[in-house]
Chain A
Amino acid sequence: MTTDCRRSFDESLLSGFLDNALGQQDEQRVRVHLEDCSSCRAQVAELRGLREVALSSRFELPSDDQWDEKPRGGVSRLFRDLGWLLLAVWIVGLAGYGVTEVWTGAASLLYRLMAFGGISAVALLFLSVAIDRWSSYPLDRYREVRK
C-alpha cells in the first residue's frame, strides 16, 4: 500500500465507482487501484460520507392546505385554451376593424398617421421579441423537453 497515487484513469471514475455506475472493466481498474492507493481510497470514503449525509437530509415541506390549487382536468384545460384563442382572435379582429375604419373613414391625416404609428410600434415590439426568441432558440438545449 502506498500514498503515492499512480492513477492511470480519469479521476471522475472514482465517483462512478462510488455510485456503482461503471462498466465491469472500469470498475475493476478502479478497484485494483484503490487497493493500492490510500489517498484515493480516503477520497472515495470522504465522498461516500458526504453522499450519505446528503441522502439523509430532510427538508421542511409545505403543509397540505398550501397545496390549494387542484390539478386542472382535461376539460378545464381545453376551455382555458379555447378562451385564450377566442380572446386573441377577438383582439386581432377588433384592432383590424379599427384600423380599417380610421384609414378609410373621414378621419384627418393626423388621425390616420397616429393610428398607423401605434400599430407600427406594436408590430415592431412584437417583431423584436420574436427575433430574440428565434435567435436564442438554437442555443437552448432544453427546447426538446416538453413542459
Chain B
Amino acid sequence: MDAEVAALNPAPEVSVARGRVADPDLILRARSGEAEAREELAAHCRRSAYLFALHLVGDPDEALDLAQETVIRLLGALPRFSPERPLRPWLLTIVRNLARDRWRRLRLRRAESLDAPELDLSRHLADPASDPEHDARRAEVRRALWTGLSALPADLREILVLRDYHDLSYAEAAKVLGVPIGTVMSRLHRARNRLRGRLVAERPDLFSEARQGGAGHDD
C-alpha cells in the first residue's frame, strides 16, 4: 500500500516544459541591448507565450498577435527585470494581461461577459498521426480533455492550463494570477474535479485510459 500511495506523488522531475529556463546570461546580454541576444530571447519566449495565449483566447491568429506583442513588451521592459527572477511567470503574466485587455474590449463592444469567449481548443492539438508514438485512443483522451477544458470558466481554465499544461509551480502560478498559493491549490482542485466529473460522465471509456496514467511525457 505504501508503494501505491507513494506512486501517486513521485518526486518532482524537471519536465521538458520546466526545463526551458532562460539563461540569466542571455537575459543580461539582451538587457544590455545585444541584438543577437534579444533575438534569441524572443525566440525562447514566443513559444510559451503563443501556447498560453492560444489556451486563453482559442484563436491562433489572435494568439500569434498576443504572443508577438508580449515579446515586444517583455523586451521593452527588460531593463527593469532582474535576471535572478524566474522569467516564465513574468512572461505569462504579460500574456494574461493582454488577453484580459482583449476580452475587456470585446465585452465593451459586444456587451458580453469576461468569462464568455467561446473556445474550441481541441482543434489546435497537433495531429497525432505525425507522431508514431501516439495512438488514436490517447489522442482522443487529449481531445476530450481539451473540449472539457474549453467549457470551464476562465478562472478555472487559467489555473489548470498554468499548472497541468505549462507545468508552473504553485508559487509561479500564484504570481501570474495575483492570488495566494492556497487559492491556487483550491482553485486547481476545483478545476480538476470539475473536468474529471465531466469526463467520467461523458466518456467513461476514455477516462479509464487517463485513470491508468495512460500517457507518458513525449515531447
A-contact bits for B109-146, CB 8 A (1 contact / 0 none): 00000000000000011110001000000100110011
Q: How far is the CB of A128 from chain B (nearest CB, A)?
A: 13
* Contacts A54-B165, A55-B17; A71 near B185 (Cβ below 8 A): no
Number of interface residues of B (CB under 8 A): 78
**Chain A contact residues (Cβ within 8 angstroms of B): what range?**
35 or more
In the assembled complex, A58 has its CB within 8 A of some CB on chain B: yes
A-contact bits for B184-218, CB 8 A (1 contact / 0 none): 01101110110110010000000101111111111
Q: Is the interface of B mostly helix, strand, loop or mixed?
A: helix
Q: How far is the CB of B195 from chain A (nearest CB, A)?
A: 7
Chain A residue, CB-CB nearest to B210: A49
Check B50 against A61 for contact (C-beta < 8 Å).
yes
In the assembled complex, B72 has its CB within 8 A of some CB on chain A: yes
Check B213 against A142 for contact (C-beta < 8 Å).
no
* Contacts A13-B185, A145-B93; A54 near B8 (Cβ below 8 A): no
B-contact bits for A9-33, CB 8 A (1 contact / 0 none): 0111111111111000000000100
**Given the complex of chains A and B, what is the CA–CA distance between A18 and B192 in angstroms?**
12
**Given the complex of chains A and B, what is the CA–CA distance between A42 and B208 in angstroms?**
11
B-contact bits for A112-135, CB 8 A (1 contact / 0 none): 000000000000000000000000
**Given the complex of chains A and B, what is the CA–CA distance between A17 and B125 in angstroms?**
29
Check B5 against A35 for contact (C-beta < 8 Å).
yes
A positions within 8 Å CB-CB of B: 1, 10-21, 31, 34-35, 41-62, 66-67, 69-74, 77, 141-142, 144-147
In the assembled complex, B51 has its CB within 8 A of some CB on chain A: yes
Please give, as numbers and ranges, the residues of chain B lying within 8 Å of A12 by CB-CB distance: 185-186, 188-190
- A sample of 17 cross-chain residue pairs with beta-carbon separation below 8 angstroms, ordered by A number, consists of A10-B186, A12-B188, A20-B12, A41-B4, A45-B8, A45-B211, A45-B213, A51-B192, A52-B213, A54-B145, A54-B165, A60-B60, A69-B68, A71-B39, A142-B97, A146-B77, A147-B97
Chain B residue, CB-CB nearest to A10: B186
A-contact bits for B61-93, CB 8 A (1 contact / 0 none): 000100010011101110010000000000001
* Contacts A57-B125, A58-B219, A59-B125; A44 near B185 (Cβ below 8 A): no
B73 touches which one: A1, A53, A147 (CB < 8 A)?
A: A147
In the assembled complex, B152 has its CB within 8 A of some CB on chain A: no
In the assembled complex, B54 has its CB within 8 A of some CB on chain A: yes
Interface centre among B17, B64, B127, by most chain A C-beta atoms within 10 angstroms, is B64
**Given the complex of chains A and B, what is the CA–CA distance between A137 and B2 in angstroms?**
51
